[in-house]
Amino acid sequence: MAIEYTEEKRFTVEQVEALFKSVGWESAQWPERLFKALQHSDTVISAWDGGYLVGLVRVLDDTGGGRKWRSVLIGGNVRSH
């Protein structure tokens, strides 16, 4: 199946937690905080393989024309292919 990308923030707390755990990020210990941060981020692009969240990019915008890639995650199950 092809990977689908979207800027819709349709992921759940559980999906975010699983993705962050799959890449070994310590922040996975605080899934509610992660979810809230993602929901309040300027831009979040998520990658989906069927119903599975397999990647995510979070971008912050300083409203002065500058954008900063804050987080880039590619799930462990996708990186191995």
Q: What is the mean pLDDT of residues 19-40?
A: 91
Q: What is the DSSP string of 10-56?
A: ---HHHHHHHHHHTT-GGGG-HHHHHHHHHTSSEEEEEEETTEEEEE
Bigger pLDDT: 73 vs 64:
64
> pTM to 2 decimals?
0.79
Quick one: pLDDT band at residue 67, thresholds 50, 70, 90? low
Mean pLDDT estimate for the chain: 83
